[in-house]
Amino acid sequence: MIRGKVKPYTVHRGERTFSIHLEDTFGGHDFRTLEQAAISDWVDEQLEFGAAPTSIRHRHGLLSSVVKHGQQRLRLRPDNPCALTELPELSAGASQARQVRFFSKVSGRCSAPA
């Protein structure tokens, strides 16, 4: 992959995530006046709607990368208000459950020598 090139499917996923989860809240917002409080309110709304902490973190990551691009490359604002957002904690149980599922699949593929 060439540095700086993004695969088409990655662009599609980002656009889809933005249109489904971010556009209603941030799409019509003036980029230069976006405040950390608005982002925190959005995180709280996502939690109230039952979104998983991992999903919120991924969506926030997309928003943060867009704002970072506007801040650093386009010089549209001096800061990134996403950097101050308190995100929901990932539960240790969910992480352990993923590991158990992964190792169960892996061990099922491996067999002891006869």
Identify the pLDDT of residue 29. 87
Residue 17 belongs to a domain: yes
Residue 2 belongs to a domain: no
Task: Count structural domains, the chain.
Answer: 1
Residue 1 belongs to a domain: no
Q: At what angle do helices 36-48 and 53-72 cross, to 10 degrees?
A: 160
Residue 65 belongs to a domain: yes
Residue 58 belongs to a domain: yes
Name the average pLDDT for the chain: 86
Identify the pLDDT of residue 5. 85
Tell me if 81 sits within 8 A of 34, measured CB to CB: yes
Identify the pLDDT of residue 101. 62
CATH code, domain with 68:
1.10.150.130
- Residues 100, 114: Cα–Cα separation, whole Å: 25
Segments forming the whole domain that contains residue 18: 8-109
Q: Kindly report, residue by residue over 61-112, the tens digit of the pLDDT.
A: 999 999 999 999 999 999 999 999 999 998 765 555 555 665 666 566 655 5
Which pTM does this prediction carry?
Answer: 0.75
